[in-house]
A and B are shown apart, each in its own frame.
Chain A
Amino acid sequence: MAIKHKHRIWEKLSTILVIAVFLIAILGNVSKVGATGTFSKIWVMENNMATSGSGQVYLAFTTQSAVTTPSLAVTFTGATTATTNANLLPATSINGVNCTTIFSYISGITDYPGTLNATAVSPTVTITTTGNFAATTAYCVILTGTSAITNPGTAGINTVNMTDTTDTGSGYYVILSAPANSFSVTATVGQIFTLSLGSNSDPIPTLSYTTVKNSTGVIATISSNAVNGVSLFAYDSHTGLLSPSTSDLIGSTNPNSSSLQTISGGATSPGYLTTVAAQAPTSGAALTVDTSFNGSAGSATATGDGLSPTPSILAYTSAPTNGAGAKLIESAVPGPISADATDYADSITVVGAGSF
């Protein structure tokens, strides 16, 4: 009796087993309707991995099957996605960088083919294209919308399911706790100020009454990271060119006038002035030459301003500058009774400041 009972039980179990195997076989075939291959090597990278963070999605995968104009559905489990093409913005490059460069470590990586369009029923994004998938080919695509995806609020590893009409696959994207994947970079830049002259002498050729003579010029070069800029000043020792042997002075023309002065050859009065020309900086702001010195040096006339022992502003910037130059040219013409002498001299001092 016990043996017979066991046998019946065994028969029933066998029947159930056979039915189960049959059902599994049937259902297994049913699940493969429209998907015969597998996406592999699925890479999902977000530019913002923080919990609840929004950003762009970089996707790479390898097909198994060739598919004509595939419609690829990508489901970001747990996330919220944008829904329109305008906000998803599928593309194969971003900021001029192609996704094949970003995923360059994937052998044979290829741009997602065709003209792309994406829409979504969050969290599933469907990418359609005019192109075709080739079999066993690695493709990359970027959802370039700045909020193409919004992460779930909990850190973890979440599934990404992909399917087109032929292949399916699963990958993962990683959500980190908010500050986990960022670090601050801080630095301090020290104050910089340099000022130098190209030469310490700038002779003017021998003067004659009828012609303005000009020096070759000396360049004052200034560099500073002073946030409000720099300024250059100049003053001289004699308010003109003084001849110690004769005590004669070719006086500075209207010094500190704040307006452009002119001296001319053959004029009845002697003249002595300084012209400043800005020299282009290596980088940063160029010097603005003050109006009174922003003249020119010629043989018939020269324009600029006279110097005195009271400093005059020559040039300035309103922002940091690197290697900005100011070329100082001195011009002079004697008057008809300016004593002849070979020892006319003046000393011009250039100083500068920065407003940090």
Chain B
Amino acid sequence: MVTKNKHRIREKLSAIFFIAVFLVAILGSAPKAGATGTLTSMWLFETNMDATQGSMVYIAFKAATTAAPGTTTVTFGTGTTTAAIPTVSSTGCGGASGIFGWLNGGAGATALPGTLTGAGSGATITISGATTSITSGTIYCFGFTSAGAVTNPAANLYSYTLTDVSDSGTNTYAVLSSGANMSIGVTTAVTQYFTLTVAGGTQSLGSLTTASIANSSADTATVSSNAIGGVSLFAYDQYTGLYSSAKTTTINSVVPNSGSIQTVNSNPTAASFVTTVNANGYSQGVALTIPAPFNGSVGSATTTGDGLSPTPAVIGYTSVPTYLAVAKIYDSAAINSATPIAADYTDTVYVVGSGAY
């Protein structure tokens, strides 16, 4: 009777033992709740390391375990406060050109994929929205990119703990004293800049006839300046027309400094000398605006423009800086049968400019 009882007890113990072994095996292969691996290559830096200041945070870590998408939590140092809804972004942190570009042999980190959202509570931010599995051995990165994502405690070295679906790791970051002032003020000034060149040289109108207006080729005035108020070009001439010293006579500029555009036709009632200005492009900034009196056109029958005199007349301007703005300047003359014959009609046109700094 006693032997039989012992045998039954032994059978029951054996059954319990096998069940226990089975349960251990099952539970051991089931997904593990919480962290099982250790994160490595952990980097955390703040954009504002000063004590008591708000900051963005960028983080990189190497996963130890492949795991399905899930939440990631970051617990900052004691005394840290976090924004309730910090912005989480992986933009700009991944790849060779990313913030963590020196990691992974220069290939950089992998931006943590997904539409990430953050929820802060105390010193912990929980990240949700990951859409792709974490791969073992991959270095991931993300940032808390809102300005006050975290607010630092007092200056010290602090431990932080990062936990993803399967792994966890602890590392350290520094909070500097508020007087550390890790900023460099860069100041400079830009000096005034102005260039003006006139190209084209002497223009010959040839032998004037009553049949048509004689128009010169264009001289070009090119102006560049960083004058904040813009530039202006002026022109004036020596004789208020084409002067013949041999005959002491002048083909007069047409209504110089008139403030309005003048029209000269061939074989006019009075011989006329007229200047026409056209804008001709620019490299940077703006093109010259040609004032109405000079913004005419040249033709063999009719030319429009304005006359010059020794008193400067504005022929172009801008209201902002410009670089290589060009004005084309034409000179035209029309005579009638009463115009004295002479071979030495001449004038000199001067172009000057200025900038409003």
Query: B-contacting residues of A (Cβ < 8 Å)?
Result: 191-197, 199-209, 213, 215, 218, 220, 226, 228, 231, 233, 235-236, 241, 243, 246, 248, 250, 256-259, 268, 288, 290, 310-313, 316, 328, 330, 332, 334-356
Q: Is the CB of A311 within 8 A of B45?
A: yes
- CB contacts (< 8 Å) of B225 on chain A: these are 337
- CB contacts (< 8 Å) of B45 on chain A: these are 231, 233, 311, 351-353
Shortest Cβ-Cβ A-B pairs, 3 listed:
A258-B97, A337-B321, A353-B45
B192 at the interface (CB under 8 A from A): yes
- CB contacts (< 8 Å) of B188 on chain A: these are 203-207, 213, 241, 332, 344-345
Q: Is the CB of B47 within 8 A of A347?
A: no
- CB contacts (< 8 Å) of A335 on chain B: these are 226, 284, 323
Q: Is the CB of A337 within 8 A of B174?
A: no
- CA–CA, A35 and B171, complex, Å: 72
| B186 partner, pick from A197, A231, A347, beta carbons under 8 A | A347
A301 CB, nearest partner CB in chain B, Å: 18
- CB contacts (< 8 Å) of B101 on chain A: these are 258, 290, 313
| B189 partner, pick from A199, A200, A231, A343, beta carbons under 8 A | A343
- CB contacts (< 8 Å) of B172 on chain A: these are 191, 193, 226, 354, 356
- CB contacts (< 8 Å) of B190 on chain A: these are 206-208, 243, 248, 250, 334, 338-341, 344
Q: Mark B171-207, 1 if CB is under 8 A from A, else 0.
A: 1111010001111111111111100000000000000
Q: Is the CB of A310 within 8 A of B228?
A: no
| B323 partner, pick from A226, A250, A268, A342, beta carbons under 8 A | A268
B17 at the interface (CB under 8 A from A): no
The residue on B at minimum CB distance from A352 is B45
| A233 partner, pick from B99, B171, B189, beta carbons under 8 A | B99
A347 and B174 in contact (CB under 8 A), knowing A313-B102, A335-B284?
Answer: no
- CB contacts (< 8 Å) of B181 on chain A: these are 197, 200
B43, B46, B186: most-surrounded residue (chain A CB, <10 A): B186
B283 at the interface (CB under 8 A from A): yes
A311 and B58 in contact (CB under 8 A), knowing A256-B97, A339-B190, A339-B226?
Answer: yes
- CA–CA, A256 and B93, complex, Å: 11
| B184 partner, pick from A199, A213, A226, beta carbons under 8 A | A199
A332 CB, nearest partner CB in chain B, Å: 6
B273 at the interface (CB under 8 A from A): no
Q: Is the CB of B185 within 8 A of A202?
A: yes
- CB contacts (< 8 Å) of A352 on chain B: these are 45, 49, 174
- CA–CA, A335 and B190, complex, Å: 10
B40 CB, nearest partner CB in chain A, Å: 8
Q: What is the size, in residues, of chain B's interface with A at 8 Å between Cβ atoms?
A: 52
A-B contact count (CB 8 A): 192
- CB contacts (< 8 Å) of B183 on chain A: these are 197, 200, 347-350
Q: Is the CB of A341 within 8 A of B228?
A: yes
B92 at the interface (CB under 8 A from A): yes
- CB contacts (< 8 Å) of A248 on chain B: these are 190, 228
A316 and B224 in contact (CB under 8 A), knowing A207-B189, A345-B187, A353-B45?
Answer: no
Q: Is the CB of A353 within 8 A of B43?
A: yes
- CB contacts (< 8 Å) of B227 on chain A: these are 340
- CB contacts (< 8 Å) of A344 on chain B: these are 187-190
- CB contacts (< 8 Å) of B185 on chain A: these are 200-202, 345-347
A251 CB, nearest partner CB in chain B, Å: 13
B92, B181, B226: most-surrounded residue (chain A CB, <10 A): B226
- CA–CA, A202 and B184, complex, Å: 6
| A235 partner, pick from B47, B228, B320, beta carbons under 8 A | B47
- CB contacts (< 8 Å) of B42 on chain A: these are 355
B96 at the interface (CB under 8 A from A): yes
A231 and B43 in contact (CB under 8 A), knowing A195-B49, A196-B180?
Answer: yes
Q: Is the CB of B47 within 8 A of A341?
A: no
Q: Is the CB of A339 within 8 A of B228?
A: yes
Q: Is the CB of B191 within 8 A of A215?
A: no
- CA–CA, A235 and B58, complex, Å: 13
Q: Is the CB of A341 within 8 A of B184?
A: no
- CB contacts (< 8 Å) of B173 on chain A: these are 353-354
B44 at the interface (CB under 8 A from A): yes
B267 at the interface (CB under 8 A from A): no
Q: Is the CB of A337 within 8 A of B186?
A: no
B309 CB, nearest partner CB in chain A, Å: 32
| B322 partner, pick from A208, A236, A337, A356, beta carbons under 8 A | A337
B146 CB, nearest partner CB in chain A, Å: 13
- CA–CA, A236 and B184, complex, Å: 9
The residue on A at minimum CB distance from B192 is A340
The residue on B at minimum CB distance from A330 is B186
| A337 partner, pick from B171, B187, B191, B323, beta carbons under 8 A | B323
B243 at the interface (CB under 8 A from A): no
Q: Mark B39-57, 1 if CB is under 8 A from A, else 0.
A: 0011111111100000000
- CB contacts (< 8 Å) of A353 on chain B: these are 43-45, 173-174
- CB contacts (< 8 Å) of A191 on chain B: these are 157, 172
- CA–CA, A265 and B170, complex, Å: 49
- CB contacts (< 8 Å) of A338 on chain B: these are 190, 226, 321
Q: List 5 A-B contacts (CB under 8 A).
A: A197-B182, A268-B323, A310-B99, A338-B190, A340-B189
- CB contacts (< 8 Å) of A339 on chain B: these are 190, 226, 228, 321
B100 at the interface (CB under 8 A from A): yes
Q: Is the CB of B182 within 8 A of A195?
A: yes
| B226 partner, pick from A192, A310, A334, A355, beta carbons under 8 A | A334
B285 at the interface (CB under 8 A from A): yes
B350 at the interface (CB under 8 A from A): no
Q: Mark B262-295, 1 if CB is under 8 A from A, else 0.
A: 0000000000000000000001110000000000
B47, B99, B193: most-surrounded residue (chain A CB, <10 A): B193
A233 CB, nearest partner CB in chain B, Å: 6
| A215 partner, pick from B186, B192, B322, beta carbons under 8 A | B186
A10 CB, nearest partner CB in chain B, Å: 86
Q: Is the CB of A316 within 8 A of B102?
A: yes
The residue on B at minimum CB distance from A307 is B186
- CA–CA, A310 and B101, complex, Å: 13
B22 at the interface (CB under 8 A from A): no
- CB contacts (< 8 Å) of A206 on chain B: these are 188-191
Task: With A193-B157, A334-B226, A343-B187 given, name 14 new contacts (CB 8 A).
Answer: A191-B157, A203-B188, A204-B187, A204-B188, A236-B186, A336-B324, A337-B320, A340-B192, A340-B227, A345-B186, A348-B184, A351-B46, A351-B182, A355-B171
